[in-house]
Amino acid sequence: MSLKAATRILLATTLGCLPELASALPEPVDLVSGDDYPPFAGSTLSEGGVLTQMVRQAFATGGQSARVEFKPWARGYEETLRLEYDATFPYLSTPRRASSFLFSDPLYELNLRLYVRSDSTWKTGTPEELSDATFCLPTGYEVSGWVRLASDRLAFVRPRSMEQCHAMLQLGRVDVLISNPDELAWQAVPPMLTPRNVRKLPEPLDDVSLHLIIPRDHPRAQQLMDAFNHGLQQLVDSGARDRLFRANQDYRRSLEADR
């Protein structure tokens, strides 16, 4: 166990024995996210991305401040699992992850779809048609739908970022891009990645949701999750969540690009 994780456990134990001090001096939660998931999370995005902004506000609603760092997805995930961070986001729920993490209420609903070049010969997006296609999905992104079920029989390229997947699609190095309309529209702003160069296949892939996740081994896992979910629900009930999305410039940019 790292010194950082051990310190966190000791502090949680100490504050648990001193409820008045814990109430008066809430320790900021340490969060980590990936650095290349527009418009949702990233160090170069406004407010760190719309979901980073929402996660901070959900914790703040319960009087809990949050510090957020951005790291490569796999590194942030593993360091959170080792309790070097209190939580990480945004992640899809999978059985493997659920065995190690608690999952928050949904942060955002995604409609995952398959995209090809506009001049591609692929037409439907069915498993039968795409059995010989090469798929692109960045490292750290979870494969979903029938593609996950058939993943051992399919060809994949897993670069560092979605931007690289777009570039490889345009260059003909991959056949199919797995994405969602929000992310696709944001990435489609650069000239060579205009929506006119990308076509969505009609067969849906999967409808999923993104979550904040907390290690089950965290000494305050359920306490933190309950507080976060309560704050998130208050944002939803008050309309603050919708206002946050409407006001976030990167999220608005993705909507405008998708029109």
pLDDT tens digits, 214-248: 999 999 999 999 999 999 999 999 999 999 999 98
**Residue 259: predicted pLDDT:** 47
For residue 178, the surrounding DSSP H or E stretch is strand 176-179
Average pLDDT on 50-76 reads 95
Contact between 171 and 27 under an 8 Å Cβ cutoff? The reply is no
Give residue-wise pLDDT tens across range 124-160: 999 999 999 999 998 888 889 999 999 999 999 999 8
Question: What is the C-alpha separation between 171 and 117, in angstroms, rounded?
Answer: 10
pLDDT confidence bin for 163, thresholds 50/70/90: confident
According to the model, what pLDDT value does residue 25 have? 47
Tell whether domain 109-207 is in CATH 3.40.190.10. yes
**Direct distance between the N- and C-terminal alpha carbons of the chain, in angstroms, rounded to an integer:** 49
**What percentage of the chain has pLDDT greater than the value 90?**
65
Ranges 15-24, 63-72, 114-123, 199-208: which has the least confidence: 15-24
pLDDT at 71: 95
CATH no., domain 3-108+209-257:
3.40.190.10
pLDDT exceeds cutoff 90 at 189: no
Asked which of 28-32, 111-115, 186-190 is least confident by mean pLDDT, the reply is: 186-190
In whole angstroms, what is the distance from residue 187 CA to residue 170 CA?
A: 13
Structure tokens at 2: 């790292």
pTM assigned to the model: 0.78
Report d(CA 166, CA 189) in Å as an integer.
Answer: 11
Mean pLDDT of the residues in the chain: 86
Residue type at position 39: P
DSSP 128: T
Identify the weakest region by mean pLDDT among 14-23, 64-73, 122-131, 215-224.
Answer: 14-23
CATH 3.40.190.10 residue ranges for the chain: 3-108+209-257, 109-207
What DSSP assignment string belongs to 65-99?
A: -EEEEE--HHHHHHHHHTTSSSEEEEE---HHHHT
Greater pLDDT, 1 or 154: 154
